[in-house]
Amino acid sequence: MLILGIESSCDETGVALVETVGAAVPVLRAHALHSQIAMHQAYGGVVPELASRDHIRRVLPLTDQVLADAGAALADVDLVAFTQGPGLAGALLVGAGVAVALGAALQRPTLGVHHLEGHLLSPFLSADPPSFPFVALLVSGGHTQLMRVDGVGRYELLGETIDDAAGEAFDKSAKLLGLPYPGGPHLARLAEQGNPTAYALPRPLLHSGDLDFSFAGLKTAVLTQVKRLVSAQLSGPLSPHAAEALSEADRADVAASTQAAIVEVLLKKSLAALTRTGLTRLVVAGGVGANRQLRMQLNAACQARGVRVHYPELHLCTDNGAMIAMAAAMRVQARLWQPPGPGATASHSFAVRPRWPLQDLGC
């Protein structure tokens, strides 16, 4: 079965073709991606209306490219999958609309996929795929969750952020340091030159005894630290350019201390989730999963405990179409989705779910 996957939930348009053969791990035939980062950079964050318009421009040329790369024709596609949520409503509607239109034209079924299930299952696209059950640390720009995963669609929420996501903490702290959007990778790069113990930033909820996270206070602590460092040069409210008054060494130290605080909380809570569940496999997914420090510290701690850690390929950590096609493929294999019967009348209506908790997928 050949599955076309379309991702358009935020600022990346992704299209991919994944093929299932029996019960074997589905295979990625081709994928293509257009990132809108350069377009949104001037505004310091994603502008939803611009995102939607750009998805409209990109999605069909990317589809043509993927089909050409895979040596396939549109008529070969058996199922059209798309990100149904969560995400920006207008952006989601583009992918959903195109998918349903393609399905109608080709007389093929469509399947709405949960974006976080895509991230969660993306390590199955790697050369070293995990096996169930495992603990999943989902760390993206909008979500920070620990899940127990017993199979496709069998997700139990163990803990989550009560305010900002880890990616948001990276991005907001980076903004305070005058770094461009999206700040996470820029902050991580700057942090490599800094001292992670230079400033004692808070590790929110580290000792809370549960598996929840809180990162909003960290951003405030970073702001206070930046203010303290620039106070000699400035008076009054901190302008967006205040961090420019800092030396490169100070900025690197704040970046390294911020990253250390986020990584320590993610690491300790992931280990606590492994202890609580008694599981010996950890999957890390979502954009923050690309963070080198997080990977190094998780690898070291898990190796010491005999726990295997699985990541998506680095280029599939952030949003992409491959994970959407993959999640659809694994749903099909798990018989969580069945094609409409021969007598079924096709409805071409569709809806998106900008807010959609992953645990609603149920077990």
288 sits near ligand KG4 (criterion: CB under 6 A): yes
**Looking at 82, 170, 311, 356, which residue binds ligand KG4 (CB under 6 A)?**
170
Query: Residue 31 region, left (φ>0) first, then alpha (ψ -120 to 50), else beta?
Result: beta
Indicate which of ligand KG4, Zn ion, none lies near residue 14 (CB less than 5 to 8 Å, by partner kind).
none
171 sits near Zn ion (criterion: CB under 5 A): no
Neighbours of 186 (CB within 10 A): 19
**Looking at 85, 112, 182, 321, which residue binds ligand KG4 (CB under 6 A)?**
182
Residue closer to Zn ion by CB (options 212, 319) is 319
Number of residues that this document lists for the chain: 363
321 sits near ligand KG4 (criterion: CB under 6 A): no
Binding characters for ligand KG4, 6-35, by CB under 6 A (x = yes): ----x-------------------------
Cβ neighbours of residue 310 closer than 8 Å, sequence gap 6 or more: 123, 126, 128, 129, 130, 134, 281, 282, 283, 284
Residue closer to Zn ion by CB (options 117, 250) is 117
Q: How far is the CB of 129 from Zn ion (least distance, A)?
A: 19
Residue closer to Zn ion by CB (options 77, 188) is 188
Residue closer to ligand KG4 by CB (options 109, 354) is 354
Per DSSP, what are the bridge partners of residue 79?
3
What is the C-alpha radius of gyration for the chain, rounded to an integer number of angstroms?
21
Report which of 283, 318, 14, 351 is spatially closest to residue 142, judged by C-alpha positions. Answer: 318
Q: How far is the CB of 11 from ligand KG4 (least distance, A)?
A: 8
Report which of 9, 28, 21 is spatially closest to residue 325, judged by C-alpha positions. Answer: 28
164 sits near ligand KG4 (criterion: CB under 6 A): no
Token pair recorded at residue 52: 């939607």
142 sits near ligand KG4 (criterion: CB under 6 A): yes
Residue type, 294: L
171 sits near ligand KG4 (criterion: CB under 6 A): yes
Cis peptide, bond prior to residue 202, ω within 30 of zero: no
Interface region with Zn ion, contact rule CB under 5 A, candidates 135-143, 156-164, 240-248, 254-262: 135-143
Token pair recorded at residue 282: 């950890």
Indicate which of Zn ion, ligand KG4, none lies near residue 263 (CB less than 5 to 8 Å, by partner kind).
none
Give the three-class secondary structure for 124: helix
Residue 231 vs residues 175, 248, 347: alpha-carbon distances, Å: 18, 16, 62
Interface region with ligand KG4, contact rule CB under 6 A, candidates 24-32, 138-146, 210-218, 233-241: 138-146
Interface region with ligand KG4, contact rule CB under 6 A, candidates 152-160, 184-192, 237-245, 335-343: 184-192
* Exposed e or buried b per residue across 258-273, where buried means at least 16 C-beta atoms within 10 angstroms of its C-beta: bbbbbbbbbbbbbbbb
185 sits near ligand KG4 (criterion: CB under 6 A): yes
188 sits near ligand KG4 (criterion: CB under 6 A): yes
Contact between 95 and 88 (Cβ < 8 Å):
no
Indicate which of ligand KG4, Zn ion, none lies near residue 185 (CB less than 5 to 8 Å, by partner kind).
ligand KG4
Contact between 188 and 179 (Cβ < 8 Å):
no
Sign of CA dihedral 150, 316, 102, 79: negative
140 sits near Zn ion (criterion: CB under 5 A): yes
Indicate which of Zn ion, ligand KG4, none lies near residue 83 (CB less than 5 to 8 Å, by partner kind).
none
290 sits near ligand KG4 (criterion: CB under 6 A): yes
Indicate which of ligand KG4, Zn ion, none lies near residue 171 (CB less than 5 to 8 Å, by partner kind).
ligand KG4
Interface region with ligand KG4, contact rule CB under 6 A, candidates 13-21, 164-172, 266-274, 275-283: 164-172
CA dihedral 237, 238, 241, 246 (to 10 degrees): 130
**Total residues binding ligand KG4 (CB under 6 A):** 20
Residue closer to ligand KG4 by CB (options 20, 36) is 36
Query: Which residues contribute to the site for Zn ion (CB under 5 A)?
Result: 140, 319
